[in-house]
Amino acid sequence: MFETDRLSVRLWDEADQERAFDIYSRWEVAKWLGSTPRALETPDEAAALVERCRARSADPRYGVWAVQRRDTGTVVGSVLLMPLPDGDGEVEVGWHLHPDSWGHGFATEAARGALAKGFGDGLAEIHAMVRPGNAPSAAVCRRLGMTATGRTDRWYGVEMESFRIGRDAGRLRS
């Protein structure tokens, strides 16, 4: 899909199932995701997750992609660029990282790459939705130069902190 200085962003594949399970079976990751957070319980669920990510990536403009360190080959998590559910064409950027990859700037770097891809593909603005209390993800939004637009339950049916950035925001912050 794209590369950054330290990361390759690509489709999830079958060989990633064990790492996907390791990431998404952890409550400290899962508690921030979706309208009803739930950690994976079995490796079979990770196989289904990988398949859903691949299916959601059929349109090359959008997807839920594996984020892999270029130096070690370790998958650190996911980055996504997807239309928001029940929206009017709004697109969301998001990230889900393994705790062993927190605090290294990987979320910001992967999200910055996804924003550049989205704007390069013609999007005028991109949103991020963050559960209240998820201070690290809100900080990533701020590092990206996103503007907080308040709380909303518009897209996921649960209250989330909303952020947005427009293509006109100029050079993305480093």
The answer to whether the beta carbons of residues 70 and 8 sit under 8 Å apart is yes
Q: Read off the pLDDT of each residue in 17-33 and give the average, rounded to a whole number.
A: 95
* pTM, two decimal places: 0.92
pLDDT tens figures, 82-135: 999 888 889 999 999 999 999 999 999 999 999 999 999 999 999 999 999 999
Amino acid at 59: D
CATH number of 2-169: 3.40.630.30
Domain residue extents for the chain: 2-169
The answer to whether the beta carbons of residues 147 and 164 sit under 8 Å apart is yes
With 0-12 / 13-18 / 19 or more C-beta atoms within 10 angstroms meaning exposed / middle / buried, residue 15 is exposed
How many CB atoms neighbour CB 102 within 10 A? 15
How far apart are the C-alpha atoms of 112 and 81, rounded to whole Å? 11
